Amino acid sequence: MKVIQIDPQYEGFANSYLIVDESTGEGALIDPGCYLENAQAAVRDSAAALKYILLTHGHFDHILGAHSAKELTGAKIVIHPEDEKCLSSEYYSLLTTYPTEGCELIPEKADILVNDGDEIKLGETAIRVMHTPGHTPGGVCYIIESGRVIFSGDTLFHSTAGRTDNIGGDFEKLCSSLKKLIALDGDYTVFPGHNIPTTLERERTRNFIIRRLK
């Protein structure tokens, strides 16, 4: 299993990641805030057959590229049921709150709705879903045990965590979600929705919000 980070093409947009199961060549794209030249080139260069578009939550900076990624590759859109409405709503996806020039939401529907504990098979790579609400009601982390990696969306960042002052945000729930994450055994590489990668062990001891959890 290989992880390729795709830098956001618009300032402030989410990090996107391409996961490739090397034994079968199947790929999954995480959080395509846009699906423009660099994301398309990353998929092309990897020669992966894109199976899934895995969305950690429904904010526009993570989902606006889902429509064209699906149209161009036939991959299936995966999201938690509580954030599905974001796929067709500029209000719930926060595009109304943060109007962004050149960006519009082309309404989409989920192909696969995932809940806590579900497992997605990407070739021989198992991707586990952990429901981590708080930043949004339907936020999830995608965990790959075989590679010891977590895609944490806007739940957990290097040194901090996602904000909870937008529509549907809930600080208490975010704290519970962070507790669930740090309760995982051992260490993981954490690929967050924004900023640089980190490790779970580093965040257990040095994260500004985790250190204050009761």
* Angle value at C-alpha 8, between 70 and 176, nearest 5 degrees: 85
Quote the least distance from Cβ 66 to Zn ion, whole Å: 14
Alpha carbon distance 159, 171 (integer Å): 17
Binding mask 1-30 for Zn ion (x = CB under 5 A): -------------x----------------
Query: Which residue number, 9 or 24, has a Cβ lying nearer to Zn ion?
Result: 9
- 70 near Zn ion, judged by CB under 5 A: no
Span from 4-12, 53-61, 70-78, 206-214 in contact with Zn ion (CB under 5 A): 53-61
Span from 15-23, 72-80, 116-124, 153-161 in contact with Zn ion (CB under 5 A): 153-161
- 144 near Zn ion, judged by CB under 5 A: no
Query: Which residue number, 134 or 193, has a Cβ lying nearer to Zn ion?
Result: 193
| Alpha-carbon Rg for the chain in angstroms | 16
Alpha carbon distance 72, 175 (integer Å): 38
Alpha carbon distance 147, 189 (integer Å): 9
Size of the residue set binding Zn ion (CB under 5 A): 5
Alpha carbon distance 147, 188 (integer Å): 8
Q: Is 133 exposed, middle or buried (0-12, 13-18, 19+ CB in 10 A)?
A: buried
Tokens 């943060």 -> residue = 98
- 139 near Zn ion, judged by CB under 5 A: no
Quote the least distance from Cβ 192 to Zn ion, whole Å: 9
The residue ranges that bind Zn ion (CB under 5 A) are 14, 59, 61, 154, 193
